[in-house]
Each structure stands twice: as C-alpha cells, then as structure tokens.
Amino acid sequence: MSFKYYTPRLIVSKCLGFCNCRFDGSVLNSQTIEMLKPFAEINTVCPETEIGLPTPREALRLIRANNEEEIRLVLSYSGNDYTEKMKEYSKEVLSRFGEVDGFILKNRSPSCGTRDVKVYPSAGKVMIKDEKSSGIFAEQAMQIFPNSLFEDDGRLTNFVIREHFLTSIFALAHWRNVKSSNEHKELVQFHSEYKYLFMTFHQDTLSKMGKVVANQNKLSFQEVVQQYETLLNLILRHTPDPGKNINVLQHIFGYFSKHLQEPEKVLFLEMIEMYRKGRIPLSVPRFLLTSYARRFDEEYIANQRFFAPYPEELITISDSGKGR
Ligand code: SF4
C-alpha cells in the first residue's frame, strides 16, 4: 500500500536554516526542517528583523519587573522596550495566513521561544529569575492558532516529540483536504484510515469521533465537520506511549492470529515483550504486521495510517533524549 500524503502548512523561524538573521548574524541548522522542505509548505518569519531591528543587534530579553503582571520584551542593556511593536507585528503578520498546521520556532528566543525563555528582573547585568515563559511572537501565535502544533528546534531532536509532531501535522494537512472536499464519504474514509493511529492517542476520544461520523442526528456536513474537528484537535493533544501502542498492535494482530502457526504467534508475543522493555523500536512489530496485512490481503488493515503516518523519507531514529 502506498499512502497519499497532503502538504502540511508550516510557519518556521527564519534563522533555522533560511537566513543569517540571529542577533549575532548567525544561522542555525535544523535536520528536521531540512528533511521537511520537500514535503511541506514552509513560510518563514523573523519577528525581530521584521520589526526593524538590525543584524547584528543587541540581544533582546524578557523582563518581569517588580513581579508586575506583564512580561516585557526589551533590549538587554539599553532597556528599550519593543513589547507593543512585537505584539502589533505578530498580529498583523499572522493574520495573513489562513489555516496553519504547525509552527517550528527557535527555542529560548525572547521572540520565538515556545516555552523555555528565561525571564529577567530587568535590563542590564542582573541575576536571572527562576521563571521561564514563551517569547512574545510565539505567545501571540499560540493565541491566534490554538489548534496548531507548536514545537521548537531543540525539542524536535527528541524522537518521541518529533514523531508526534510529524504525525500530527500530516494528519491536519489531510484533514484540511477532507474539509474542503465537502463530501461525507471523505470523512468516513479519513476516520477509517486513522482509526488505529488515533487509538494510540486516546481511545475515548476516538469513540466519540466514531459517533460523530455515524451522524445519527442527520446533521449537515459542515456541522459534522465542526464537531469532528473539535475532537480531532483534542485527540492530537495526547501522546502515544508504549502501552497504547501495544494495545493497538494486539488489536491488529487479532485480524491475523487465526491464520498463523503457533511459532509465529510466539514470535509476535516475544516482539511485543521486547518493545515493552524498550529493546526494539515500534517499527519492528509494526513491519511484521504490515507483512501479514499483505500476505493475508487484509486491505482495511493495510490502509491504516498507523503503519505510515508520514512519508518514510522523514523517518529517522536519531534521538537526543532532550525535551522529555
Ligand atoms: S529566533 Fe526568531 S526573531 Fe530571533 S533571529 Fe530567529 S527568527 Fe528572528
């Protein structure tokens, strides 16, 4: 089975491989973004240069003075305040985009960082506070696009986080296509293909999605889509773990066990145990089940996105262990 993939729409920090626009004139490299280039629509932004700051420039920082409610964006030493300018720019530039599946932003940046930006008590040479926040641009983006996926370049070096991000953005891109089709059969097909993948995210939400698709109240396509999308955004907030993956592997194995010899069943159980103990990756038992789907011509199973949630060219097992 070869899967059709839809093109995720992303917004990415420009200094991650596109422009020497960091405060010191440097550019960074992100392996994930490099790999994504042929498969995604990538829109780049550099909030700091786009509000008129030069490169190289004095670094910006976030400050919360005297425990005030609002965090402000200021130049590190002169203290010039860019908070309002950055907020206005962010709203204006983000309003130019329609639906966005995901953001990949530079970590620790007072403008782009999604969660781990140091907060200082003031400009100048001072000790940092024991507080972290998101950058001003990232914060505005998260408010305007509450259902998009947000990750930073650092976290995407972690295998599990990257896997979740890639799976989600390709699912959202596919979903945009279903919505624009205006056809209930496309929704049924989408739900069918993603059933086992979404079961690894959250089983209860998957059941609710199934009821929406069944549409017993005979709602219009737009109403069904609205209800389904709410649940889709909810389910993508969950992260698969080995226990949920094993549950799905066992469900799928149930389609084939009646055809298999005892030693083959034992081998599968041994693989599950090795996966549970972290000795082999999920791809090993998954490949075995793919081979069974082909061997026994089980089309419904062969079509499951669980086996290939995103293009195989994006698969890499590298794992920094960071961001867990
Ligand atoms: S982190 Fe954001 S604001 Fe800073 S250089 Fe990169 S893109 Fe520009």
In this structure, the number of other CB atoms found within 10 A of the CB of residue 285 comes to 23
- Give the span between the Cα atoms of 206 and 150, in whole angstroms: 23
Answer yes or no: is the C-beta of 111 below 6 A from any ligand 1 atom: yes
As a whole number of angstroms, the distance between CA 182 and CA 313 comes to 31
Give residue 69 CA to ligand 1 midpoint distance, Å. 25
Q: Long-range contacts: 90-97, Cβ < 8 Å, 24+?
A: 90/47, 90/136, 90/137, 90/140, 90/141, 91/140, 91/144, 93/45, 93/47, 93/50, 94/11, 94/140, 94/141, 94/144, 94/145, 95/144, 97/9, 97/11, 97/43
Ligand 1 in reach of 272 Cβ (< 6 A): no
Name the helix (H) or strand (E) containing 9. strand 9-13
Interhelix angle for 136-144 vs 83-94, to 10°? Answer: 40
Q: Say if ligand 1 is within 6 A of residue 202 CB.
A: no
β-bridge partners, 149: 102
With beta carbons less than 8 A apart as the criterion, state whether 108 and 119 touch. Answer: no
CA–CA gap between residue 315 and residue 163 (Å, rounded): 8
pTM summary value: 0.94
Q: Could you give the 3-state DSSP secondary structure of residue 104?
A: strand
- For 7-115, where are the alpha helices, taking DSSP H only? 31-36, 47-50, 83-94
- Amino acid identity of 322? K
Query: Looking at ligand 1, which atom is closest to the CA of residue 23?
Result: 5
- Structure-token pair, residue 90: 């962010």
The pLDDT tens digits along the chain (324 residues) read 689 999 999 999 999 999 999 999 999 999 999 999 999 999 999 999 999 999 999 999 999 987 788 999 999 999 999 999 999 999 999 999 999 999 999 999 999 999 999 999 989 877 766 899 999 999 999 999 999 999 999 999 998 899 999 999 999 999 999 999 999 999 999 999 999 999 999 999 999 999 999 999 999 999 999 999 999 999 999 999 999 999 999 999 999 999 999 999 999 999 999 999 999 989 899 999 999 999 999 999 999 999 999 999 998 866 555 544
- Residue closest via CA to ligand 1's atom 8 equals 46
Q: DSSP labels for 203-234?
A: HHHHHHHHHHHH-TT---HHHHHHHHHHHHHH
- List the alpha helices (DSSP H) in 54-101: 83-94
CA of 26 to the centre of ligand 1 (A): 10
Report which ligand 1 atom has the smallest distance to the Cα of 113: 1
